[in-house]
Amino acid sequence: MNFAKDIRSNRIAMLSFCLICQSFQAEGIVRNYSAVVSPVVQLLMERNVNIIQMPCPESLFGGLENGLAREPRSYKKYDTQRFREHCKTIADQTLQTARTLVHHGFEIATVLGVEFSPSCAVSYQYEGRTVHRKGIYFELLEQLFETEGITTKFIGVNRSGTKTAVRQLCELLDPQLSLGLG
């Protein structure tokens, strides 16, 4: 079929669910943004990047009815076979979406996670001190993307300081501007 050309962007960012819905976070830990983590979302909007919200592994675990109002849990508490299988199911679905998008000519420019999340961290956990460790869902997702040959940039957003993620996003989306050349 021949469709008329239009103005749509072919760039996509896949976001951890709570980056545009902080109310899905565990109880008592929403302290920086009450709803949308605005600096990163604002940047994506300004650069005409489509936003896909990935499912939230923790709030869906055991069903949304239970998961929505949940206490914060550590990485160790989440690191069970059952939770890993749950994350694998979601990661498989996300991979399927990404695969289809790439097939249709879209670019998965970035996948944004949430630092210090047992599920969605890209680099860091807090275990009495900051340790270098991915979240369980993101670990599986990165492996699947790599195996599939889908290249993208995984960026972790620290909600108590978004500057690093914003800078990384600028470098990714506007390399010339971020070098001061554009």
Instruction: Provide the binding-site residues for ligand SF4, judged by CB under 6 A.
Output: 16-18, 24-25, 56-59, 114, 117, 119-120
Nearest of 113, 111, 127 to residue 158 by alpha carbon: 113
Closest separation in Å from C-beta 29 to ligand SF4: 9
Which CB, 48 or 80, lies closer to ligand SF4?
A: 80
Which CB, 9 or 66, lies closer to ligand SF4?
A: 66
The DSSP bridge partners found for residue 132 are 124
Nearest of 7, 12, 3 to residue 105 by alpha carbon: 12
CB of 27 closer than 8 Å to CB of 69: yes
Closest separation in Å from C-beta 66 to ligand SF4: 14
Report which secondary-structure segment, H or E, holds 2: none
Look at the chain and count its residues. Answer: 182
In the numeric block, the tokens 């949304």 are attached to: 64
Closest separation in Å from C-beta 20 to ligand SF4: 10
C-alpha–C-alpha distance, residues 17 and 15, integer Å = 6
Closest separation in Å from C-beta 103 to ligand SF4: 26
Which CB, 25 or 152, lies closer to ligand SF4?
A: 25
Which CB, 35 or 177, lies closer to ligand SF4?
A: 35
**Cα angle value 91/95/114 (rounded, 5°):** 50
Which CB, 18 or 49, lies closer to ligand SF4?
A: 18
Closest separation in Å from C-beta 18 to ligand SF4: 3
